[in-house]
Structure 1
Amino acid sequence: MRITVRIMLVLAALVCALAPASAAPTVDDASARKIDELLTVRAESGGLGRGELIERLSARLLGTPYGANMLIGSATEPEQLVADLRRVDCFTYLDYIEAVSRSSTRDEFFTNLVTTRYIDGRVEFAQRKHFFTDWAARQRPAATDITAGLSPAAVATTKHLNAKADGGTYLPGIPVVDRTVTYIPSAAVDGAVTNALRTGDFVGAYTPDAGLDVTHVGILVHTPNGPVFRNASSLAANNQVVDTALADYLRTVPGIVVLRPL
């Protein structure tokens, strides 16, 4: 009997060791209220298409203050599942909108946040989707990279993600990943391209810098006044989630990478 109990305890310990981290973080009251508000918007959205749903949800976070480096974890610090909607950076903004767009309850939101932010649903720094194109290239993709099909001017280039030009890495403890990144030069984003973009598309600002795919991300929204780039802006003039005219934003970046949500 004692042997049986001991075996059961060992098996239980193994299961706990192999199980993914908990998908139920501690959430402050303001974030909890905002999550519930977004879930209500989602529930009341009826048969809206995917892009229109993303637009409606993302609009509820317009004006949310910008916060840098919102996630917790590194090669030396244990990763934590963060769900803090009091402030967002450009990536966490997209994380929350993508996760809530697939959720009906708060528990579902936390579960979907894990699968949106992490590979294999494991809350670990090494499993975090650190790069924008991870959303299309890694397991359980949240989107499809449609950049190449938007313009004959699209350029494909090989990137060694995470590798700095001086031989170091941006993220210690994370391997370098070779990936073909396709972008459309800003000068080539003409009327045909903007017409092919859909509300709800995820847009990244391409960078030629070694080791990176994009430097900023946001959501494309078509409005009566033209397309806008909805983003958590760190610019001093904004410092919050704002709508920026796409044409104005394109003048500040080398090009764009476009992912379409699944």
Structure 2
Amino acid sequence: MAIEKTLGKLAPLVLALALAGCGGDTSVSALPQPDETTTQQQAALASLNEATSGKLDALLAIRAAHRDGDAGRLVEALSREFIGTPYRDGMLEGSATTPERLVIDFSGLDCFTYLDYVEAARTATTRTDYASRLVRTRYVNGDIGFGQRRHFFTDWAARPQVLADDVTASISARAATVTKQLNRKADGGAYLPGLPVVQRDVVHIPGEFVDDYVVSRLRTGDFIGIYAKADGLDVTHVGFFVETRDGPMLRNASSKKANMKVVDSPFLEYVKSTPGIVVLRPRA
């Protein structure tokens, strides 16, 4: 009788546990599911081509061996790994009407993905960490989506999470500020259909004022944007400022017919023929 009374008392508890799903349910639906960002990161890493896989390991090794805390020297070493990589436009996938997919592919670079890949490697420690940092570099708040992609160079200093500081005004007293309507074409259309027009003050140093003094104020690892005259764009090209044995260079994924790859271009020679530069400095 005592046993029956005990079982009677336990019956409601057993029923409650069963209804609550606490009876050892190990079905897939009961397990925590990865979010979309994690799923995309895993898929991107799983689909790396051979060249990208090998280079990613090399970048992580460079990062692991770098212990002196000099961000500029690290950027120089990481960016040097890509010299000679073919220039290739349109490597990313996504639009206002097509779902965005995280792409990690070092077999070809445009000038902006080059910056993405190096900046993500600057603080990454593992492959998984690299994918996570690339997402936070390429997308505002680490939210994978065409609308959240940092399409404009100055997004790096203006949109969260901030990646770099705009130091252009501190580099030269000749720096000028122009209020732009980013993404708006002269005819009223959009450079990037489906995205809004963004008003932003863009500071630049006109090309004729970029001289030896300005170069002396730059640091290896600075992000350099070539200022755009068009009202709807902030820059037309980007690269890294690096000091080399051959002098100051703009290390960039060049689309010039004579190059079509990542090269070092003599800095002053390159910049003097442009409308000017925008300078962003990576955060430590």
TM-score when normalising by structure 2: 0.86
- Counterpart CA distance in 1 for 2:153 and 2:222 is 13
Residue correspondence of structure 1 range 1-262 to structure 2 within 5 A: 4=20, 20=37, 22-24=40-42, 25=44, 26-262=47-283
Cα distance 1:19–1:73, how it changes in 2: closer, same or farther (>3 A)? closer
Specify every segment of 5 or more residues in structure 1 that has no aligned partner in the other structure, as ranges.
Answer: 6-11
**Code of the aligned partner of 1:205:** I
Paired position in structure 1 for 2:25: none
Separation in 1, partners of 2:129, 2:166: 26
Gaps of 5+ in 2: 1-15, 22-28
2:76–2:220 Cα contact (<8 Å) kept: yes
The secondary structure found in structure 2 opposite 1:259 is: strand
RMSD after superposition: 2.0
Post-superposition Cα deviations, 1:152-180, rounded to whole Å, max 9, x if no partner, equal 11000101111111111011111111100
State the Cα distance separating 1:223 from its structure 2 match.
Answer: 1.9
- Contact 2:164-2:282 within 8 A present in 1 as well: yes
* Shift in CA distance, 27/17, structure 1 to aligned 2, threshold 3 Å: closer
In structure 2, what is the Cα distance between the partners aligned to 1:119 and 1:23?
16
- CA deviation digits over 1:121-150, x for unaligned, max 9? 111000000000000101011110000111
Which segment drifts farther, 247-256 or 72-81? 247-256
The amino acid across from 1:106 in the alignment is: R
1:120 is displaced (CA, Å) by: 1.4
User: Take 1:108 and 1:252, find their aligned partners in 2: how far apart are those partners?
Assistant: 40
Deviation at 1:48, TM superposition (A): 4.2
Output one character per residue of 1:67-103: Cα deviation in whole Å (capped at 9) or x when no partner.
Answer: 0111100011110101000111000000000000110
* SS of the residue 1:132 aligns to: coil
- Measured at CA, do residues 109 and 17 of structure 1 come closer, stay the same or move farther in structure 2, by a change above 3 Å? closer
Change (3 A) 1:17 1:126: farther
Specify whether residues 124 and 3 from structure 1 end up closer, same or farther in structure 2 by C-alpha distance, changes over 3 A only. Answer: farther
- TM-score (structure 1 length as normaliser): 0.93
For residue 200 of structure 1, give the secondary structure of its aligned residue in structure 2.
Answer: coil
Percent of aligned positions that are identical: 49
- Partner amino acid, structure 1, of 2:100: E
What do the CA deviations read for 1:203-233 (whole angstroms, capped 9, x no partner)? 0000111210000000000123321000000
Write the letter of the residue equivalent to 2:273.
T
2:106 alignment partner AA: L
Question: Deviation at 1:189?
Answer: 0.8
Deviation of 1:247 (Å): 1.3
How many equivalent residue pairs?
Answer: 256
Alignment check: 8 A CA contact 2:202 2:234 kept: yes
